[in-house]
Structure 1
Amino acid sequence: MIAAKAEDSANASSPWSEAITIIINTLPGRPDQPSGPGSGYAMVPYNFQTSAIDQDGDSLNYTFDWGDGTTLDLDLIGSGINVSSNHTWTVPGTYQIKAIALDRMGGEWSEERSITIAANEQPDPPRDLYGLRSSYTGIVCNYFTMTKDPDGDNVMHLLDWGDGTITKTGHIPSGSLENASHTWSRPGEYPVRVCSLDDKGAPSQWSGPFLVSISANDPPEQPTTPSGPAAGQCLISHEYATSARDPDGDAVKYIFDWGDGTTSWTGLEYLDSGEESSVSHKWMQPGAYQIKAAALDDKGLISNWSGALAVKIE
């Protein structure tokens, strides 16, 4: 703290002035040399990190200089906290990366980090998606797209389904057909987009939105336990029936699991909700079998399996 007073030639003194506080600032320490890859490809984002300590505990403003005429500023980072940033170089060459940490009085540049960037072109934008533009909740929907890479690199795809989820596919050859599926759990309008990345990591532009309209749908209720004979002979047909209601009033059909590794549908046609249907089955070997059934509505949602009917075949 500093204060002052005045004294005249007769040695008379004034009172002390109001004191002021002087804070001596220490410049931040020199940031660490940015850490990150030493080589890469054009059009691919790369991550670099650094940190610096301020002896006064001040928050710091960082600047990354990417060596290509561009910089990036990061504001008010706590002393000693690691900071990171991504950068994409568009032209092949060797670049010197450095960082500076500044408090209100200044700072010092870090040691430079060199990165050599090789030539690479980003993939073309993906072709427009092909698939359903309307469907129902709980239904698996399939979509197709294709991307060509100017360098002939393998490509992968990211599909943004518009509901907060993204599907990441595996790599396939440039120009090959890609297939991905998704199930929406809530009704609504969803803008689906896709982008591609080559096997070096360069991303394409995102496609335009492909609007998908999803309507509500509930699966059928659990079918009744199959009815029919509880005992019989192998190599002889036995008939069993079941029924189920659909909450939406949708038409339904049934699948029977015979407990011997085989299943049977009630037919190609759908039946009215709640209508009973039956199927015959012939067991080839004697034994104890558990028969159960499930219902499928005409929008594609399947119910839980019914309770099981125990059947003894001799």
Structure 2
Amino acid sequence: RYSTQTYIARLINELLHNKTAAVHWIASDGEARVMELGKMTNETVYRFNKGSFLVSFGDNLSKNIDIVSSVYRYNSTYKLRIYMLTKPLDNIVVHTLSEPKIAYYAGPAMVNEPFYYLLKEAGFRSQKNLTPDDVIRELTIDNYNVIIWGGGYPDEAPKILADLISIRGLRVREKIREFVRNGGGYVGCCYGGWRAASSFKRPPGLPLHIATSQLLNLLPLQLGLLDCSVYRALPGAGDVTLKIVNTDHPLAFGLPQFIKHHSIMGGPMFLSKTFGKSNMEVIGVIHDIEDEQHWDWDFCMEFCPWWISPFLSNETKMKIARRWMQRDVGAAVWVTGRFGKGKVVAFGGHPESTDAWDWSMTWGNPPRIVYNTIFYLVSRGPYNVNVEHSVTFSRMGVNIDPSCIEGYIFEKVKLQGSVEGGNPPYTWYWYLDGKTIKDVTQSSTQSMTFELGKPGNYTISLIVVDNDYKMDVAVAKLYLRDKPKAKIMVGPLYVCWAIRHGFANSWESLYFEVLGGFPPYRCHWDFGDGASADTNSDDGSFYVWHVYKKTGIYRCTATVYDKYNSSAVANFVVAINDRQTPLTVEFHQKKTCDKDGEFWYGALVDIPVTFTVKLQKLESNSYVYNFSFGDNTFYETSPVTKNVYTVNHTYSDLGIYFLVITVKDENGNTWKHFDIIPINNLKPPEKPKKPSGPIIGLAERWYSYSTTVVDSDGDKLLCLIWDFGDEKEEVFYGWEGSTFWNSHRWKEPGVYQVRVRAMDIHGGLSDWSDPLKVYIFKPPRLDS
């Protein structure tokens, strides 16, 4: 499913190319008489805020529907509204936006992956890493309109320096300067910020660096895009709070004045020229140093030259570093300027990791600070424009088929739109209750397919605009009910997971997995000692830690609920002993697999189990051993002198038995050992055979695979668990026989491994089968 963040960000690549566009980035506040899209209610007066997006049903809109849908989604995420103007909007100041075509400088030891991944996941489809040779060959404003120079690895400084002062490095420098001079945009982050300046300067108050800065200025290192000097920023690596000092600049649209968690990793500060006119404009400065106790001081400690550092103690170095940090409060770390026809934005830190909105925004959806940077570099303006509304209502015979649907949640709903009149081509707008929601993507096509997870009665609206900007609306009703209660089953899949051994006053872990149901899941734990806890899981895996204060045997229950309150219970038995006890117990039984004194699948019925009790050498002459086997049978010895004692016991019925062994010496000292003995006649299913089926295929196509599995002791199989290598394991219940089939569709090209395991009705779980490697390729493109 196309993620909301990815779809929102598609607007960047779909923005119109000229100032008569129907999409505008507003650079001023204003009022308008508007009508909210999808609701078709009476017009209202709305206050537009600077930094918002405005869409009008005029100009070239119908020929670029993706822009409208993307902007609508973007505004919905940030709780902004999008409107249709009912009257012209006069004297609005706007920037118009064009499609960003982004290049990254991928020289030696450059780090572009975070920025590249972030924007790629956000929907920036036109991106490419350029090697130095690629820059020389193809970096022109015809091919790209933005180049990003990211950070670099500090330990690769010699390699970076050698490349910069080479003949090739000089040609790269001139090529980037020419690109920006002709109208391209430049983004410099951290090391890329160093390169944007004109010269190096020694850090104020640190005269020991004067030789280093002057030496660097002798080399052709700088791009010279900004009339400023740079010097080493904060020592170490950590976070600072940014303060925006120019809130009227487009780069600051929609941002709070104070931005926390801006990452600094050895990047530069920017100092404007002392004499003459400078093209540098300061956007943000360091307002505060965040939690210096967690700064990585070992990241960079070169605040003094190598020839004096050995004579300073670590304490002295730390004092200098902290003094240095306070000195840099108020220094510029976010600047911009114009170079020729182009624009330059430089950061001393890493905006791609800025927590300007919330942490999750950095996964698949850039912070607004990154959006604004890209917007600003590709924008033109500002312009004073008259945004017009030119849509008229006209009955064109718009219909939705079916017009009434009854179904269940999480089932696909497919709607088909049609129109009888009007002048094609048409533009189609789909809305749910007058607005889009997270699980419904606004579509520019004649059909709409989606699913919802919340029961209720919904209204589906379809708005059609023809080539003459005539509009008609159709409405359909959707009634969704809860699905019947889903079957949930829980592990522990192995007996050894359900039977736990631990020590008093130590952290002990409990684990189980959920099979079936609808995520997310929640679980209530009752640890059996009066304590409880609640945990949550998105994938059905639950893991919890608990401390038992006293020795003994405890029954623990975990009650799990899925999204719709279907429930199941996982039961645990926990044996807690004293870590300091001199008493140890070992078990053994022929024909079973024991591991470290614990039965993996339990002991078998009607076969003797050997218990060996060992005591460390103590200052006693005799001991009495007492055994409570948990099946209402007991055994006690007379006083014996040996500190190792062995006894055999046979369990005649299946079950889980609580074993308590007590040892007393002649002085009245007592030691106890608690344990749990599972008795069964079970064996897990054998490992399934390697799946068979196609090993080469195409994405978005269905393929079938089969396997064969048997349970060695004839138990009925409960389910097969398939792992196709791309998502959560798929569980299928109720199979009988020995040959099993399953079908799967891979969404993305790649190399995947198909494997399977089986579980019987007693919870015995087989090993994974040998994997089948499958190669999935991208479907060929069919040109229309």
User: What is the TM-score with the length of structure 2 in the denominator?
Assistant: 0.18
Q: Comparing both chains, which one has the higher relative contact order based on Cα–Cα distances under 8 Å and sequence gaps of 6 or more?
A: 1
